[in-house]
Structures are given as C-alpha cells and as structure tokens.
Structure 1
C-alpha cells in the first residue's frame, strides 16, 4: 500500500511539473530520477511558434499590405532571438490568409489561404508581395474559423500559437459568429490578436476588442496608412554588400534548386524596391538561424545528421560539381559553409552597430505601426510559454 502511495505521489508530481512548465522547459533537471524510473514519458514535438496572419485585402487596405511587406523581416528578426527557457530555440512557421477581397469566391466567404504554415521565408515573402486589394465583404469570424480548420496547429500544448487578424470593418459580420470562432481557437490553445486599422474606440465599439479578449489576446488599433520612417545608417551599404557575398555561398541541388535560387534573388529585389532599409532587414534575417534552405541548398542540407552526398544523383547537382568525387564535393560544401558562417557573423556585427545607431537617432513613434502591434503581443504572450529574448 505504501508503495502504491509513493507511485501515486510521484505521478502527481510529474503531472504538476508537466502542467506548469512550457516551451520544452521540462528539462531532465526538472524531473527526478525516481520519476523517470516510474513514469514513462514521451518527449513532445520540437517546439514551434505558429503564426497565422489574416489580412484584409479589400480596397481600403493598401496601407496595411504595404506595412506587412515592409515589416515582415522585423518580425522574423525578433523571433530569431527567442529561446525556450534556457535551452532550445523554436522553429518559426508562418501562414498567410487574405480575406474581404471580391476576387475570391463568395462561396468561400471571400477568404483564401495564400500559404499554409511554412518555414520558407522566401516563399512567404513571395506570397506576401503577391497580395493586391479589391473591394469585398469582410467576415472576421469566418476567416478565423477557416484558418483554424485548414491549418495543422499541432497538439503540443507548449507551442506558441497565434492568429493576427487585421482589418477595419465590424468584427461581427458574416454567417459565423466571432464568439464561436474564438471559442474554438481558445479550446485549441490558439491566441487571437486583433489589429483594427483605424480609431481605437471605433474598433472597440465594433467588437475587435471583444474578439481579442475572448482568447486572452491583444487588441491594438493602428494607423495603417502611416508611412514607416526608416533611418538610414552608415552600416546599410556594408550589410547589402555582405548580402551579395552571402548569396554566392548557396549551392543549389535537386529539382527545386535553380528555381529556389532565382526566388531568393527576386525577393532581394522586391525588398530593395520598397526601400534600402527593407533590404537591410531582409539581409539580417538571412544571417539568422531561421533562414534555412535545406530543401534546395547543399550547405544547409549538410547540417542534417542524415545528410550523405553519395545519395544525391550527380544530375541533381550543379554542373560544376557533377564530375567531382564525393570527397571533392564534401570539401567544396565545407568551404562554402565556413565562408557563409563568416559572412553571416559580419552581418550580425554590422547590424548590432546599425541598431545602436538607430536607437540613438530614432524619434518616438517612428517605428512601423504593424510591427509595434505584433511584436508587443508576441513578447507578452511568449512569456506565458517561458520564452525569453536575447542576442
């Protein structure tokens, strides 16, 4: 009987530890050897941050879309510093939906998945830049409900799962009640953050604030037409030059290789067309752990434990490597890996100086409205999952 009580007590302790720690902070230090011996534990899936962006693309939202294009890399760069407790750094997955656009089928509620959860930052950028605005009806409840049903949110309770929905029409329109949609989100551990494009009180009175509060999310009102003021720094040209060198360290392979390498270049150009500062921020993202292209780049692919160059068909390699031996190819990859690491480090060092310069010269309120809204919510909600930010 005494043994039964001891086992029950240890099991209860295990449940308590598992329930109060997040972000895979359930390290071996937190679980006693006795617990490990008596309770069979299953390691949860790798920690992932899942962010779904639901953007209103009706006629009045050009400013919002432009802010999203300009500030995508600010959001990515913020996540590049996040830690799960004192251990792992989580993976970032972003999904994108547009709603309220009359070019989308009415039977779909004028809602369209632009890209499902993805870690491919170039593809996410491509899809974001493809968005255009057109008049339509905005059904926030249905947009939230659709994203919950369509996307694979996973079952790991430690993952940070967030929806950001932005728009400017009443939140209670459409056949699906926003209260039902947010209730479903809360049940699945998804936090809904609402961003009203307009006056704070107007948004609150049209249920945007209520839509956020029902899941413990943030309600923020922004001026979506406000022009983002980018501060030029003496380090911008240095980072842009380093980015060009960084691109030369990529070694394409497989069926996706050439097209993905071309996409990388195109998205550089898209960022540069907006403003030089946007290209700089993108280059900083490309120097981070979150910019990983193992599906088409041999250098990133070689970091995987199961990577074996001998398993890649010669015809899947760049022409300059097809006549090389496996050892020669491995040596080539290693050279590019070292070169990339050095360039990325130089970008990071230049960016530290750039950020210090900006902090010294930036006027209050000059940051992007959408960027401020999202980062504020991310940091606050990340703390509930034991997330910390460092550099």
Structure 2
C-alpha cells in the first residue's frame, strides 16, 4: 500500500532541480523581490513564479507504511542528486517545489476525510526532510479521490502552461473508496494542467482492478505497481567517511541571521542527524545534495543571501547577526562572508568530485536490478512527462 518510499524521493526529484527558470524556450522576466533584512524577518514561502516545477506527494500513512516511509527518507536524496543536472530547452535550471500530504490515517480528522496537508509547496530541502521524518502510521480509511481534490484546492498550482505540475499518489486500497468520485478529482486535475501518477503497492493486476490505472491515464499520467517489501541494498564505498567529514566542515560555512537563523541552523543539524541515524549512506547522499545548487538558504544564511543582488547586509540590525559579527563593521562582515563563501565552494567541489568516484565504485559493484522498483518507475514517469515540457538532462 505504501510503496511510497521513494515516491517522495523521486518526486522530489522530479523536477529536482535547482533554482531559476521554468521550462520555457524564452525565459520570462520576473520581478525579483529584495530580501528584507529586518529585525522581524518572517518565514514566508517563496512566491511561485513562472520558473517552477511543482510536485505534490500524496502518501498513504496507514498501518503497513513504516518501512516504506523509511525508504522514502533515504530515496529523497537519491532522486534529488540525480536531477541536479535537469534543465529546460533554453538551458536554464527550473526551481523545484514539493508539497506533501498524508491520508488514510486514523490519527487524522475524520471530518477532513483522514487527510492532512503536511507541507505546502516548498523548495527548502531541510523542511521537506523534516516533514517526511515526522510521518507516523496508523490504520484508517483511504480516500484517493478526496486527497487528490484536496491538494488541487489547497495548493497554488499556478496557470502557466509551461510549468511542469505533477501529483504522485501511493497506496494499496481500491482507488474508488470515499464519497468523492476519483473521476471528478482527476477531471479537475486536467483542467489545472496537473498530471496524476498513481503507485499501487501490490499486484499489478489488482491495482488495475482497483482503478489505479484509470486514475492515472485519465490525466495522461503513469500507473505503477511495486513490491513495497523489496529491500534496497546500499553499497558502502571508500569515499563515504570522507564525504561525511566534509559535510561537517560544510555546516561550519553557514552564517545564520534574522529571526529564522537559529532555528534553521538547528534544523540543518537535526536533518543531518536523522539521515545518519537512518543509515550511514543516507547522510552521504544528503551531503551530496547539500553540495549542489539545489541547496539554497538565502532566508537565513548570509553566504547564500549575498548572492541576491538586492540584499544589503548593512540593513541587518545588530541583534539579527550572530554574536561573532555583532561588533564588526559592514566591510568586515562582508570580508568574513566572502571567506566563508570560498571555503564552502572548495568543500562542495571536493564533495562533488568524491561523489563522482563514489558513483563509479557503486556502478562497478552493484548487482543487476539492485535499484528499487519505485525509483525506476517514477524516474521513468517523470522524464517522460518532463520531455513534453521541453526538459532535458546533462
């Protein structure tokens, strides 16, 4: 039922990409809003623009989902890393936003159809990881049509026809459950130019009999059936320990600021710990993601913020700076930031180079068909649908 394990990962990855333009042949100019460096910096979601790939993951969190959730936590970084080099026809790099819903869990409100929005569209990889690790399972009613309809209604999908908009829903009960007819939900998805992909955790024919295939094909999406009990075998490499140590050094290049600074830096460390506790190889994959262009934290990190042309560090009030910078002049702060920026670039480059060697080692030592079914199926669906929006891969 909950094959969802990599679903999140792959989804994540789906657009997974970096930061810039949607898949338009000619990038449209969009107004860049300056980062407001005030004492009361609020946590506001980045405004959706013309340069965004949007993916909503709808995960069944009923009883048999625990193992699948763990796999999703791991596969998240696999997918992100694989899509680091996705680009549009104009060679620009689209921004990725992920939303997360859970459904089919008795701990959720029956009035809401046992459905909960866990995360609105976000491009914050730490936040996505945090929400994924927060999921717990419990028995419940699984209303596929209603959770699709809820995500269509609550999320801001936008109206740009060039954007790639996808739903991935995973579960193991009939797609027909609930008062809301799933055909009405997927019709609404088509009207919003959202493709629905379905992942049935169980026998392929059983999923077809339960209308999971129809739920996908009515929107031009893909139907997938997977063995949710398949265990993914991770391969340890000679480069893992080095990458983990470099990840620790990488964290020391972050300079928190503003009202979000302390909590976001703590979240970064917490998600590192979550990944490492799950399995050593997961923290390695996460470190690789953190060394890519996808991992940007300008809302709380001065190094990333300085890359925004409208950001002025002199506007940050003293109390919004870390203690080591509060007594320094603007020029001294800028020099400090530049030093950390160079350190980060060097560390990220080293991680990427080591990861290239790591991938070669894994390819040479990995048995045939060792990758998870979900990962392969979702990646295939994403690439197929992305090509229609003029995406390509380095």
TM-score by length of 2: 0.88
1:209-248 Cα deviation digits (max 9, x unpaired): 1111011111111111221111111111121111111000
Q: Is the 8 A contact 1:164 1:192 kept in 2?
A: yes
Q: For the residues of structure 2 that align with 1:360 and 1:154, how far apart are their CA atoms?
A: 43
Are 2:299 and 1:277 aligned? Answer: no
* Alignment partner, residue 53 of structure 1: 57
* Alignment partner, residue 151 of structure 2: 147
Q: For the residues of structure 2 that align with 1:299 and 1:135, how far apart are their CA atoms?
A: 45
1:258 pairs with 256, 259, 262, which one?
Answer: 262
Q: For the residues of structure 1 that align with 2:345 and 2:351, how far apart are their CA atoms?
A: 10
Name the SS for the 2:379 alignment partner. Answer: helix
Q: For the residues of structure 1 that align with 2:89 and 2:161, how far apart are their CA atoms?
A: 15
Most deviating of 70-79 and 139-148: 70-79
Structure 1: state its 5+ residue gaps: 1-21, 29-43
* Alignment partner, residue 38 of structure 1: none
* Alignment partner, residue 25 of structure 2: 25
Q: Is the 8 A contact 1:61 1:167 kept in 2?
A: no
Q: How does 1:174-213 map to 2 (within 5 A)?
A: 174-213=178-217
* Cα offset, 1:103, TM superposition: 0.5
Q: How does 1:285-300 map to 2 (within 5 A)?
A: 285-300=289-304
Q: For the residues of structure 1 that align with 2:239 and 2:369, how far apart are their CA atoms?
A: 23
Name the SS for the 2:159 alignment partner. Answer: coil
Q: Is the 8 A contact 2:98 2:128 kept in 1?
A: yes
Q: For the residues of structure 2 that align with 1:373 and 1:223, how far apart are their CA atoms?
A: 12
* Alignment partner, residue 45 of structure 2: none
* Alignment partner, residue 40 of structure 2: none
Q: For the residues of structure 2 that align with 1:209 and 1:96, how far apart are their CA atoms?
A: 22
Q: Is the 8 A contact 1:228 1:366 kept in 2?
A: yes
Q: How does 1:226-265 map to 2 (within 5 A)?
A: 226-265=230-269
Q: Is the 8 A contact 1:71 1:368 kept in 2?
A: no
Q: Is the 8 A contact 1:195 1:373 kept in 2?
A: no
* Cα offset, 1:55, TM superposition: 0.3
1:104-132 Cα deviation digits (max 9, x unpaired): 01010000000000011111101100100
Q: Is the 8 A contact 2:167 2:196 kept in 1?
A: yes
1:169-188 Cα deviation digits (max 9, x unpaired): 00011011111111111111
* Alignment partner, residue 313 of structure 2: 309
RMSD over equivalenced CA pairs, Å: 1.4
Q: Is the 8 A contact 2:256 2:322 kept in 1?
A: yes
1:32-58 Cα deviation digits (max 9, x unpaired): xxxxxxxxxxxx943211110000000
Q: Is the 8 A contact 1:73 1:282 kept in 2?
A: yes
Structure 2: state its 5+ residue gaps: 1-21, 29-47
2:141 pairs with 137, 144, 164, which one?
Answer: 137
Q: For the residues of structure 1 that align with 2:368 and 2:223, how far apart are their CA atoms?
A: 21
* Alignment partner, residue 9 of structure 2: none
2:371 pairs with 360, 367, 376, which one?
Answer: 367
1:10-46 Cα deviation digits (max 9, x unpaired): xxxxxxxxxxxx8111369xxxxxxxxxxxxxxx943
* Alignment partner, residue 16 of structure 1: none
Q: Which has the higher contact order (CA 8 A, sep 6+)?
A: 2
Q: For the residues of structure 2 that align with 1:355 and 1:46, how far apart are their CA atoms?
A: 34
Q: For the residues of structure 2 that align with 1:314 and 1:27, how far apart are their CA atoms?
A: 38
Q: Is the 8 A contact 2:24 2:90 kept in 1?
A: no
Q: Is the 8 A contact 2:23 2:90 kept in 1?
A: no
Most deviating of 135-144 and 231-240: 231-240
* Alignment partner, residue 14 of structure 1: none
Q: How does 1:62-101 map to 2 (within 5 A)?
A: 62-101=66-105
Q: Is the 8 A contact 1:46 1:90 kept in 2?
A: no
* Alignment partner, residue 350 of structure 1: 354
* Alignment partner, residue 220 of structure 2: 216
| Number of residue-to-residue matches in the alignment | 354
